[in-house]
Amino acid sequence: MRTLVLIKPDGVIRSKIGEIISRFENKGLKIVALKMVKLTKQKAEQHYAVHKGKPFYDSLLNYITSGPLIAIMIEGDNCIEIVRKLVGATNGAKAEPGTIRGDFSTGIDFNLIHASDSEDSAAYEMPIFFEEKEIMSYERADKAWL
C-alpha cells in the first residue's frame, strides 16, 4: 500500500524536513519517491479540488503555492492509517503531543503537512505529484524485524 505526504511550505521554511521524514522511516515505513517542488496554481487546484467553493479554498491555494514543498510517496502495510496517526489532528492546537502537528504546529492555518486520508484519496493525489518512473522499488535492510 502507498500514500502521499506533503511537507507544506511552512514545514520546509521552518527546516522540519529531516525531522518529519525521520518519523516515517523510524516507524518502519519506506520512502519510495521524494522531491521538492513549488506548486503551480493549476496543480494546487487539482490537488484541492474537493475543497473548491469552501470559504477557506483561496487561502489554502495561496498557502500551498507560497513556497517550496516536499512531496513524498510512502509505502508499507497499513501506511495510510499509520501515517495519519503520526501526522495528528488537522488543527495543531488539538493534535496530540508526539504527533508531527502536535509537536510542531499551533493551529490549523500553518499545519506543516498533508497526508492522504484514504486509499481513494491517495490514488487520486499521488499521480498529481509523481510519474510511475519516479517511484523506486527496494527492500529495507530491517524488513524482517518490522
Catalogue the active-site residues.
114
For the beta carbon of residue 60, count every other beta carbon within 10 angstroms.
Answer: 16
- Grid cell digits, residue 2: 502507498
Q: Which residues contact 1 (CB under 8 A, 6 or more apart)?
A: 75, 76, 77, 78, 79, 80, 119
In one-letter notation, the amino acid at residue 142 is D
- Cβ proximity of 105 and 95 under 8 Å: yes
Q: How far is CA 88 from CA 85, 110, 113, 137, 140, in A?
A: 5, 14, 10, 28, 25
